């Protein structure tokens, strides 16, 4: 999701309800990257379009030169010293993150965070009524 806006120009925007990004949150980003490179042949590159200083690495899967997802190192400070375990997060495109988050809440979801990602778009991270995590995304 951290691809530069110029790279996104000319690319079709994801449609409402479609999977649009996958993200790996890791406790050891170097080890995770080496694993996926060896197992699947994925290619990683730095992608810090958000200018946050965060070590964010985009990956391609070989099907396209356009990134399929990202990898980042979990920072315990983001979670008051109690970080979650390493995990995958799937993002679904929505036309309006805020309206979609409100709809999800009305249907029993817990919305944990709604935020802007500089130079990229807006996201919401939520749990469905059974506890499964998912995120939504609207491109800038």
d(CA 108, CA 80): 26
Could you tell me which residues are beta bridge partners of residue 111? 126
Q: What length does the chain have?
A: 140
Residue 79: per-residue pLDDT: 86
Q: Is residue 129 very low, low, confident or very high in pLDDT (cuts 50, 70, 90)?
A: very high
Over residues 71-104, the pLDDT tens digits come to: 999 998 888 889 999 999 999 999 999 999 999 9
* Structure-token pair, residue 74: 């979990």
Q: Which residues contact 14 (CB under 8 A, 6 or more apart)?
A: 20, 93, 137, 139
Output the pLDDT for position 139.
Answer: 92
4-8, 9-13, 59-63: which has the minimum mean pLDDT? 4-8
Domain that holds residue 72: 5-9+18-139
Indicate whether 1 pLDDT > 90.
Answer: no
Q: Tens digit of pLDDT for each residue in 17-67?
A: 999 999 999 999 999 999 999 999 999 998 655 556 788 999 999 878 889
Tell me what pLDDT residue 131 has: 96
Q: Starting at the edge strand that comes first in sequence, how are the strands of the sheet with 133-139 ordered?
A: 43-46, 56-60, 69-73, 19-26, 87-93, 133-139, 121-127, 110-117
User: Which residues are paired to 124 by β-bridges?
Assistant: 114, 136
| pLDDT tens, residue by residue, 101-124 | 999 999 999 999 999 998 889 999
123, 114 Cβ separation under 8 angstroms: yes
- Report the predicted TM-score, pTM, of the whole model to 2 decimal places: 0.84
Where are the extended beta strands (E) located within the chain? 19-26, 43-46, 56-60, 69-73, 87-93, 110-117, 121-127, 133-139
What is the number of domains present in the chain? 1
| CATH code of the domain in which 79 resides | 3.10.180.10
């Amino acid at each position: 999701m951290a691809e530069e806006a110029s790279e996104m120009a000319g690319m079709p925007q994801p449609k409402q309800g479609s999977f649009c990004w996958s993200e790996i949150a890791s406790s050891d980003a170097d080890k995770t990257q080496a694993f996926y490179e060896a197992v699947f042949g994925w290619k990683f590159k730095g992608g810090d379009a958000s200018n946050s200083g965060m070590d964010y690495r985009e990956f391609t899967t070989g099907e396209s030169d356009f990134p399929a997802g990202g990898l980042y190192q979990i920072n315990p400070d983001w979670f008051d010293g109690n970080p979650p375990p390493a995990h995958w997060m799937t993002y679904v495109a929505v036309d309006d993150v805020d309206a979609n988050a409100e709809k999800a809440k009305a249907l029993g979801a817990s919305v944990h965070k709604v935020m802007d990602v500089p130079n990229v778009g807006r996201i919401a991270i939520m749990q469905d009524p059974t506890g499964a995590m998912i995120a939504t995304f609207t491109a800038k």
